[in-house]
Amino acid sequence: MSAPLGRVIIYTKRLEEVAEFYCKYFGFEILRLEGDRIVELVSQGAGSNILLHPMSAGRKDGQTLVKLVFDVEDVEAFCRDAESRGLKFGTIHQADGYSFANAKDPAKNSISVSSRQFAKR
């Protein structure tokens, strides 16, 4: 029996800023349900949705050890486009047949773009 990954939860004190970030750079759409404190970011492709959950007072931004990896065929082109819109990725790394680059969202969570999904195996 399998269970596909449907949603990832990000805990943040910056709900609006983080929601705008993932919409602007990764094409998500915001879904808000009346009376719900969670903001759902709906994937416009075949990927998982992101739930933005208000962080409790005792936690710090970026404290949770999670990295969101977004599959892109051309990492260099994606990073160039993102930078033209205000998001600077770090060095593009070459791995075994694919490349990747890392950045942070407004709540200091680690994110990555990777062409691993498209590598010839």
The answer to whether residues 74 and 114 touch, using CB atoms and an 8 Å cutoff, is no
- b/e 50-61 (16+ beta carbons within 10 angstroms → b): bbbeebeeeeeb
Could you give the CA distance from residue 96 to residue 36 in angstroms, rounded to a whole number?
Answer: 43
Q: What angle do CA 50, 79, 111 make, to 5 degrees?
A: 35
Closest by alpha carbon to 31, among 40, 43, 23?
A: 40
Q: Give 69-97 pLDDT, tens digit per residue.
A: 898 999 999 999 999 999 999 999 998 88
The amino acid present at 35, given as its one-letter code, is: G
Kind of pairing between the strands at 93-94 and 39-42: unpaired
**Is the pLDDT higher at 19 or at 46?**
19
Could you give the CA distance from residue 23 to residue 92 in angstroms, rounded to a whole number?
Answer: 23
Confidence of residue 120 (pLDDT cuts 50, 70, 90): confident
Question: Helical H runs in the chain?
Answer: 15-26, 75-84
Q: Can you give the residue ranges of every domain in the chain?
A: 7-118
Could you give the CA distance from residue 116 to residue 121 in angstroms, rounded to a whole number?
Answer: 10
Please tell me the class of the 7-118 domain: alpha beta
Q: Give 93-103 pLDDT, tens digit per residue.
A: 998 888 999 99
